[in-house]
Amino acid sequence: MEKNYINVGLIGYGTVGKGVVKILEENKKIVLRKVGNPIRIKSICDLNPIDKPELHVKNFKDIIKDPEIDLIVELIGGYEPARTIITESLKAGKNVVSANKAALAKYWDQIFTTAQIYQKSVYYEASVGGVIPVVQGLSEGLASEEILEIKGILNGTTNFILSEMKKHCVSYEEALKSAQKAGYAEADPSFDVNGIDTANKLAILASLAWGSWVKVKSISVIKGIADLDIEDILITQDFGYNVKLIGSAQKTKDGIDLSVQPCLVNHEHAFATVENEYNAIMITGKDSGDVLFYGKGAGQLPAASAVVSDIINLSKSIVTNTAGIVPDVVYDSTKKIKILPAGKSKAPYYLKFTVIDKPDVLSKISGILSKFKVSIARSLAQFNISKKNYGRISIITHETYSENIEKAINAIKSITKSKTVKIKIEI
Ligand SMILES: NC(=O)C1=CN([C@@H]2O[C@H](COP(=O)(O)OP(=O)(O)OC[C@H]3O[C@@H](n4cnc5c(N)ncnc54)[C@H](OP(=O)(O)O)[C@@H]3O)[C@@H](O)[C@H]2O)C=CC1
Ligand SMILES: N[C@@H](CC=O)C(=O)O
């Protein structure tokens, strides 16, 4: 007897959407073996004409109201109409798969409350870490753990840009263009380079880890990578570090400390060898200790692979009529967790001062640093750069409080030519 199809409505036929269709077509046998029933894409909605005109639907509302569709895959990105698509699909009795970290992080409460009320499921593995099964790893694999820390390279585009700048000395602009061409970047790449995409992913992981909605606005996005200088990447490379954009969430006795910023990682650190579009996420549980997740964080097929896994897993519960019976995200919307203010954490830093080229400038800077107890581990002084009347002093500090560093930077301001570069060192 022929088995019933699971009918999928796909909304958004761009980089990832096309990858999903490709994998479902190429891996038909694997999918059938895993689910028991075949899966077929019944309709595709996109703003533009598509290469499968027989499936094309112009308005997403027609997919949501189609009684034959069991599962809706939202792959348009952005906040709206993505939020409407997700919530209206749930209300119409459909299960949902989405890769949209921006909408999930911003409307977490609304989306999962709606899913619970309508007893439907929302799966979102591709929203964090591309193909890496970190959502499942955290919510299922580490279900018994008290999570102490989540730290990671969570954005493929920025990691790719930093790798290109370091390995091939290409400019930031050129590297960003290549990342866009490869399909890694968001439709608006400022989300990647300014650290917002990393913050969205960190908010999702933190919400899962601590059972309360961690809002993106409570994360200190100290800065992204847009104003990083190739010079700093190369100097710190010589000092024994790689620059990485790190999202970090740490449970302390006073609350959760959440931040996004470029950090220097020692060449021996697990994150130092994570290059190109790869991501790595270290989750530390009280009993498990460190658990490291690694894989491609961006790109058509890695992201689509995670989406298709969600489609398969959700289809299995659709077949057995269990989708949405147990909530996918267990959290208490009334539970408040204390978030620490930015910049309180204790860490060593890399500092670079661009200075007027005068004989006493080095001793002046050293004097001010020592007055504020910012002791020096490594330093490099370069003067008469390009025969111009300026120099630069690059320093790796010993462990110290960021308040002391700020005071020293303020005191040094009068003898510097431009803003001091300050990058945290990850330990
Ligand atoms: N690319 C990647 O590596 C990864 C992406 N993601 C996430 O996956 C999602 C999709 O990303 P990606 O495929 O790269 O994005 P794309 O911009 O390549 O694709 C989105 C598609 O949706 C279409 N679209 C936009 N608005 C609508 C609408 N209202 N109705 C119908 N179609 C619409 C777009 O058309 P138009 O181009 O005309 O706007 C475009 O074809 C995003 O949430 C992204 O963050 C997650 C992991 C990795
Ligand atoms: N733009 C994102 C895509 C995947 O989430 C990234 O570069 O990581």
Which CATH number is 376's domain given?
Answer: 3.30.70.260
Residue 201 falls in the annotated catalytic set? yes
* 327 lies in some domain: no
pLDDT at residue 327 is higher than 90: no
Residues 79 and 143 in one domain: no
User: What are 38-78's pLDDT values in tens digits?
Assistant: 999 999 999 999 999 999 999 999 999 999 999 999 999 99
| Cα separation, 349 vs 14, whole angstroms | 41
pLDDT at residue 396 is higher than 70: yes
User: What are 87-102's pLDDT values in tens digits?
Assistant: 999 999 999 999 999 9
Residues 391 and 276 in one domain: no
* 343 lies in some domain: no
pLDDT at 2: 58
pLDDT at residue 3 is higher than 70: no
* 339 lies in some domain: no
* 330 lies in some domain: no
Residues 365 and 407 in one domain: yes
Count of domains for the chain: 3
pLDDT at residue 1 is higher than 60: no
Lowest mean pLDDT among 7-16, 53-62, 386-395: 386-395
* 326 lies in some domain: no
Residues 397 and 315 in one domain: no
pLDDT at residue 146 is higher than 60: yes
To the nearest 10°, report the CA torsion of 31, 307, 214, 291: 70
pLDDT at residue 301 is higher than 70: yes
Residues 310 and 293 in one domain: no
Residues 311 and 265 in one domain: no
Which atom of ligand 2 has the smallest separation from the CA of 129? Answer: 5
Residues 157 and 215 in one domain: yes
Average pLDDT, the chain: 93
Residues 353 and 306 in one domain: no
Residues 142 and 176 in one domain: yes
Closest residue by Cα to residue 76 from 151, 186, 232, 233: 186
- Domain enclosing residue 415, as ranges: 349-426
We report the CATH number of the domain holding residue 110 as 3.40.50.720
Q: Which residue would you say has higher pLDDT here, 287 or 1?
A: 287
Residues 230 and 176 in one domain: yes
pLDDT at 387: 65
User: Amino acid letter at 96?
Assistant: V
15 assigned ligand-binding residue = yes
When pLDDT is averaged across residues 131-154 and rounded to a whole number, the result is 98
| Cα(358) to centroid(ligand 1), Å | 53
| Cα(258) to centroid(ligand 1), Å | 28
| Cα separation, 29 vs 54, whole angstroms | 23
Residues 153 and 187 in one domain: yes
Whole-number Cα distances in Å, 424 to 191, 255, 340: 21, 21, 18
Number of neighbouring beta carbons within 10 Å of residue 409: 20
Which atom of ligand 2 has the smallest separation from the CA of 126? Answer: 5
Beta-sheet pairing, 147-153 with 122-123: unpaired
Q: Of the bound ligands, which one is closest to the alpha carbon of residue 77?
A: 1
Lowest mean pLDDT among 206-215, 293-302, 411-420: 411-420
Q: Which of 94, 166, 201, 296 is catalytic?
A: 201
Which atom of ligand 2 has the smallest separation from the CA of 201? Answer: 5
